[in-house]
Amino acid sequence: MKLLIGPIVLIFEELLLTFFEFYSFWQMHPLSTI
């Protein structure tokens, strides 16, 4: 079970970091297309 949880947590953290980077970038440069 721990073997499965490890990689999933890493991927989840990676996704969160990418999301926050994109979100802060979008805050600084609002896109009217969304």
d(Cα 5, Cα 12) in Å, to the nearest integer?
10
Q: How confident is the model at residue 2 (pLDDT cuts 50, 70, 90)?
A: confident
What single-letter DSSP state applies at residue 29?
S
Read off the pTM: 0.55
- Residue ranges covered by each domain of the chain: 1-34
Higher pLDDT among residues 31 and 9, named by residue: 9
Give CA angle at 27 (11, 13), nearest 5°: 10
Give CA angle at 24 (11, 32), nearest 5°: 115
The torsion angle over the Cα atoms of residues 22, 25, 27 and 32, rounded to 10 degrees, is -80
